[in-house]
């Protein structure tokens, strides 16, 4: 990429808006994962008995097991959300920006 | 079954070798891998025999604690996607050091990145080789040394002739086989329980010596410092593993790079859920069966054999043969990926940039990378034999700690922090590497368990919390205090790098 093209891209307000939105989404989802995971880890360190609470009076299933599976599923869901937005909306704007910069 | 797999992979290697003419093919499969293929290959790199047998064995031994590890290994993937994947693809060509040296001075930055990459790869390789030797010894009755040599020689053949194309396809085949085998085993377990999780857990609690304790966290993470430190190493270590990062250069663009993480996260998450079911199934179907226990009541071959025994318990000898072949395939595929990442650090970063200052041509670099593959393979065989009797469990932990503290901070800062300079990147990487290795040696795992001292100098098992902090602090301190003209130029170059990291390789194909 030459300097002139780079300059054109940087001055394009679409670029600034798109990059800010993409980074904000990445930051929010990263924080979401950090809170979920370190919340889980700290619960194990400080209050493991919370995870040992049985789900029903008679059964052996504890709350910790569906919660653990839910963390795995939420990690997958979070990647799905990001990929959906980035691969449709953000990539389309990226193409427009490049076209306007002469590519 | 075992020979069919070896013959098939050698045929792929032969096919791939005819397509590997330039270093672009050797390092990055020519950028022709699709997102789904790459997702499978990434999942293949990550679902090692150690994690399949180790995590199911941990579930077998202590139930819930196995799930804690699985979750730690999985949560790094979203972080890679949100922060690293697309920018890595847009800025680099073959190694993550390409990204770090995009605007920074090549020689110091590539030297330190290659050190971090090689340290990670070699530690990981030793752990895999020792595990492989023991597993093959047990499964096929081969002597340990022969097993290590066979794995080493096959790996050298795949990588040196077939490069990334062969490594990727071996990885994809193995990932599919492993997912099929594990799915079958989990379904067989549930079929035995009348497809009721409640029955599975009830029967497991009934037969397990720890009883209801297996349904909740045990003693794995009791103090908060260790918990956070291990959590950091698992979460950010994945984002600093060179053989994983390298996979993002095999796809066509940022869009495919993102999609491949989505697929990989799905496959890996599904696999860990299966492993959890398999571990609980083994508690019921293997732990209560005298065929699989020795006279003292322990599992024959150790707890890591839980999944292998379960294969026999659910599918008989034929399925046992299948799962054993899959375990062997898994080992081969993972060590191949590691060796390729190590070889690229030697040839692309150290030889071509540091030693020859970018004057080596394509053919010369390709030749060096093949030589480096053979060298690393021989080294892996040698170290695998030397470490036979050693406790190597700490090595994977150390590899993750180095990846999280030496590779990840420098990579992240180079992408996002405009004021990072060459000096900051070098000292950040060096401090992360030094502190991680130093604290690991002084900590309980090496100082007490391996070296036999009574009391550890450093009280915590997991160094990542301290080593990562040291790396970020050093990178920051050495960057902001850098007033050289080179540093000023590097800061100015950030704008251009930033635009390219968002827009891709515009105008250069």
Q: How far apart are CA B124 and CA B397, in angstroms?
A: 9
Residue of A nearest to B507 (CA): A1
The CA distance from A24 to the nearest CA of chain B, in Å, is: 10
Q: For residues B387 and B382, give the distance between their C-alpha atoms in angstroms, rounded to a whole number.
A: 9
**Rounded to whole angstroms, how far apart are CA atoms B480 and B360?**
34
From the number of C-beta atoms within 10 Å of its C-beta (0-12, 13-18, 19+), residue A12 rates as: middle
Q: What pLDDT score does B506 carry?
A: 60
The minimal CB distance from A86 to the residues B79, B228, B258 is found for: B258
Q: What's the pLDDT at A79? A: 97
pLDDT of residue B134: 85
Torsion of CA B76, B79, B85, B91, to 10 degrees: -110
Q: Do A98 and B503 touch (CB under 8 A)?
A: yes
Q: What is the pLDDT at residue B396?
A: 86
Burial class (CB in 10 A: 0-12, 13-18, 19+), B484: exposed
Q: What is the 3-state secondary structure (H, E, C) of chain A?
A: CCHHHHHHHHHCHHHHHHHHHHHHHHHHHHHHHHHHHHHHHHHHHHCHHHHCCECCCCCCCECHHHHHHHHHHHHHHHHHHHHHHHHHHHHHHHHHHHHHCCC
- Mean pLDDT to the nearest integer, A18-22: 91
Q: Do B77 and A1 touch (CB under 8 A)?
A: no
* Contact criterion met (CB < 8 Å) for B215 and A60: yes
Best residue in B203, B460, B499, B505 to probe A by mutation, most A CBs within 10 Å? B499
Binning pLDDT at 50, 70 and 90, where does residue A1 land?
Answer: low
Q: Which of B100, B111, B116 is nearest to B415 (CA)?
A: B100
Q: Is B79 in Cβ contact with A9 (below 8 Å)?
A: no
Cα separation, B13 vs A81, whole angstroms: 37
For A24-47, write each residue's pLDDT tens digit. 999 999 999 999 999 999 998 888
Residue with tokens 């791939």: B16
Compare CB distances from B261 to A1, A40, A79 and report the shortest one's residue. A79
Residue B503 and residue A45: Cβ atoms within 8 Å?
no
Interchain proximity A69–B224, CB inside 8 Å? no
Q: Which residues of A touch B495 (CB under 8 A)?
A: 6, 10
Q: How many CB pairs under 8 A join A and B?
A: 162
Residues from chain B contacting residue A30 (CB–CB below 8 Å) = 78-79, 82-83
End-to-end CA distance of chain B: 43
Residue to mutate among B82, B202, B215, B222, with most A CBs inside 10 A, is B82
| Count of C-beta atoms within a 10 Å radius of residue A15 | 22
Q: Do B227 and A60 touch (CB under 8 A)?
A: no
Q: Are B94 and B23 spatial neighbours (Cβ–Cβ below 8 Å)?
A: yes
How far is C-alpha B235 from the geometric centre of its chain's CA atoms?
12
Contacts of A57 (CB under 8 A, 6+ apart): none
The whole-angstrom separation of Cα B323 and Cα B319 is 6
User: Does A9 sit within 8 Å of B75, measured CB to CB?
Assistant: no
Name the closest residue on chain B to residue A27, using Cα atoms: B82
Q: Which of B78, B355, B406, B30 is nearest to B242 (CA)?
A: B406
CB contact under 8 A, A76 and B269: yes
- Give the one of A30, A45, A91 whose C-beta lies nearest to B224's C-beta: A45
Give the DSSP per-residue string, B467-503.
HHHHHHHHHHHHHHT--SHHHHHHHHTHHHHHHHHHH
Q: What is the rounded CA–CA span in Å between residue B185 and residue B370? A: 39
pLDDT tens over chain B, length 509 residues = 778 888 888 999 999 998 888 888 999 998 889 999 999 999 999 998 878 888 999 999 989 989 998 999 999 999 999 999 999 999 998 999 999 999 999 999 999 999 999 999 999 999 899 888 888 888 888 899 999 999 999 999 999 999 999 999 999 999 999 999 999 999 999 999 999 998 999 999 998 988 888 998 887 766 888 889 989 999 999 999 999 999 999 999 999 999 999 999 999 999 999 999 999 999 999 987 888 888 777 888 788 889 999 999 999 999 998 998 888 888 899 999 999 999 999 999 999 888 888 888 888 999 999 999 999 999 999 999 998 887 777 788 889 999 999 999 999 999 999 999 999 999 999 999 999 999 999 998 888 888 888 888 999 888 999 999 999 999 999 999 999 999 999 999 998 899 889 888 764 44
Cβ of B79 within 8 Å of Cβ of A33? The answer is yes
CB contact under 8 A, B502 and A15: yes
Contacts of B226 in chain A (CB under 8 A): 45
Please tell me the distance from the alpha carbon of residue B441 to that of residue B454, in angstroms, as a whole number: 14
Spatial neighbors of B48 by CB under 8 A, at least 6 apart, are B128, B330, B331, B334
Q: Per the CB < 8 Å rule, is A73 touching B269?
A: yes
- Residue B377: predicted pLDDT: 95
Segments making up each domain of chain A, as ranges: 23-101
What are B333's two structure tokens? 């595929």
Contacts of B215 in chain A (CB under 8 A): 52, 60-62, 64-65
Beta bridge partners of B299: B293
The pTM of this model reads 0.93
Calculate how close chain A gets to B49, using CA atoms only, in Å: 20
């Amino acid at each position: 990429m030459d300097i002139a093209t780079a300059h054109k891209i940087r001055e394009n307000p679409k670029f600034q808006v798109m990059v800010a939105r993409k980074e904000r989404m990445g930051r929010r989802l990263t924080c979401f994962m950090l809170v979920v995971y370190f919340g889980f880890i700290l619960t194990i360190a400080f209050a493991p008995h919370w995870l040992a609470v049985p789900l029903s009076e008679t059964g052996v299933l504890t709350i910790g097991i569906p919660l653990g599976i839910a963390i795995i599923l939420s990690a997958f869901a979070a990647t799905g959300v990001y990929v959906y937005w980035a691969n449709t909306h953000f990539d389309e704007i990226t193409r427009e920006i490049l076209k306007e910069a002469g590519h | 079954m075992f020979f069919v797999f070896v013959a098939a992979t050698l045929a792929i290697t032969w096919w791939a070798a005819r397509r590997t003419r330039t270093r672009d093919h050797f390092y990055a499969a020519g950028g022709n891998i699709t997102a789904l293929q790459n997702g499978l290959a990434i999942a293949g790199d990550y679902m090692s025999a150690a994690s399949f047998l180790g995590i199911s064995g941990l579930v077998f031994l202590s139930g819930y604690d196995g799930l804690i590890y699985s979750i730690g290994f999985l949560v790094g993937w979203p972080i890679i996607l949100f922060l690293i994947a697309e920018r890595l693809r847009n800025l680099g060509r073959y190694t993550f050091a390409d990204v770090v040296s995009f605007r920074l001075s090549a020689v110091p930055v590539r030297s330190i990145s290659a050190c971090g990459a090689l340290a990670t790869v070699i530690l990981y390789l030793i752990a895999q080789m020792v595990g492989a030797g023991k597993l093959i010894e047990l499964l096929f009755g081969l002597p340990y040394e022969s097993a290590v040599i066979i794995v080493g020689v096959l790996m050298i053949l795949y990588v040196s002739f077939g490069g990334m194309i062969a490594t990727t396809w071996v990885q994809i085949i193995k990932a599919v086989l492993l997912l099929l085998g594990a799915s079958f085993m989990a379904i067989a377990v549930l079929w035995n329980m009348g497809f009721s999780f409640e029955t599975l857990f009830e029967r497991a609690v009934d037969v397990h010596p720890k009883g209801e304790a297996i349904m909740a966290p045990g003693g794995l993470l009791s103090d908060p410092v260790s918990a956070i430190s291990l959590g950091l190493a698992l979460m950010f270590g994945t984002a600093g593993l060179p053989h994983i990062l390298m996979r993002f250069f095999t796809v066509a663009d940022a869009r495919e790079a993102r999609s491949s993480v989505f697929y990989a996260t799905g496959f890996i998450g599904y696999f860990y859920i299966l492993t959890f079911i398999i571990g609980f199934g083994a508690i019921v179907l293997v732990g209560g069966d005298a065929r699989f226990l020795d006279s003292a009541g322990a599992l024959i071959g150790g707890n890591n054999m839980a999944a292998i025994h379960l294969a026999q318990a659910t599918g008989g000898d034929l399925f046992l043969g299948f799962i054993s072949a899959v375990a062997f395939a898994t080992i081969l595929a993972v060590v191949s990926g590691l060796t390729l990442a190590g070889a690229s650090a030697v040839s692309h970063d150290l030889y071509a940039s540091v030693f020859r200052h970018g004057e080596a041509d394509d053919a010369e670099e390709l030749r060096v990378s093949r030589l480096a593959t053979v060298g690393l393979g021989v080294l892996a065989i040698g170290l695998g034999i030397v470490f036979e009797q050693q406790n190597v469990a700490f090595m994977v932990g150390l590899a993750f700690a180095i990846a999280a503290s030496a590779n990840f901070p420098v990579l992240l800062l180079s992408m996002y922090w405009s004021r990072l300079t060459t000096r900051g990147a070098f000292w950040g990487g060096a401090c992360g590497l030094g502190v991680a290795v130093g604290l690991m040696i002084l900590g309980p795992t090496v100082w007490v368990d391996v070296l036999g001292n009574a009391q550890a100098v450093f009280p915590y098992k997991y160094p990542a919390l301290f080593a990562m902090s040291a790396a970020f602090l050093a990178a920051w301190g050495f960057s902001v205090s850098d007033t050289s003209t080179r540093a000023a130029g590097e800061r100015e170059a950030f704008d251009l790098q930033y635009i390219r990291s968002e827009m891709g390789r515009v105008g250069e194909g």
